[in-house]
Amino acid sequence: MRFSSHRLRQGRVSETGRAYLITTTTVQRRPVFADWTAARLLVSALRCEDGRGTATTLAYVAMPDHLHWLMQLGEGITLATVVGRVKSVVAHAMGCPVWQAGFHDHAVRADEDLAPIARYLVMNPVRAGLVRRVGDYPHWDAIWL
C-alpha cells in the first residue's frame, strides 16, 4: 500500500514534553551535509531551537543526505513548526532548496528508554560505512555523553 506524504501527516499530534524521533531527507537524497559548512549550519539550527526552548535536543546525527533528530518538544509549539523552522533556516542560509517536503516522526512511548534509541541513531555513520568508529564522525551529539 502506498501513502502520499499528505496522508502521512494526517493524525500527527504535537505533545509538549513528548520525545520524538524525526527523520528528514534532502532533495533527491543529495549529499548536502557531506560539506562541513552545511552540516554545521544544520547543527547550529538545531541548537537555536534548544536556545528558544521550543525543542530539547537529546541526540542527532547529520548524515550526508538526511537528518535524524531525537528531541523533546517544548511548550506552545507544534512539531511541524519546529521541524519546518530548522529546515527553513538551513535552506535560507544556503540560498537554495535543501529538503524534501515533509518529514517522518515517531512519537516515543513513555515506556521506551531514550538512551538505546540515541545509541542506535548515532551509530548511523558506522553502519553506513562512513567511519569505523562513531567518534570519528563529526556531526552528531547526544546528551548522555
The pLDDT mean for the chain works out to 92
Q: How far apart are CA 139 and CA 145, in angstroms?
A: 14
What percentage of the chain's residues is helix, strand, coil (to nearest 5)?
40, 25, 35
What's the pLDDT tens digit per position in 3-21? 344 444 555 789 999 999 9
0.85 exceeded by pTM: yes
Q: Determine how β-strand 104-107 pairs with β-strand 19-25.
A: antiparallel
Find out whether 19 and 71 touch, Cβ atoms under 8 Å: yes
Assigned C-alpha cell, 14: 504535537
Q: What is the model's pLDDT at position 6?
A: 46
User: Which stretch of DSSP H or E encloses residue 101?
Assistant: none
Q: Which domains does the chain have, with CATH numbers?
A: 5-142 (3.30.70.1290)
Q: What is the model's pLDDT at position 10?
A: 54
86: left (phi over 0), alpha (psi -120 to 50) or beta: alpha
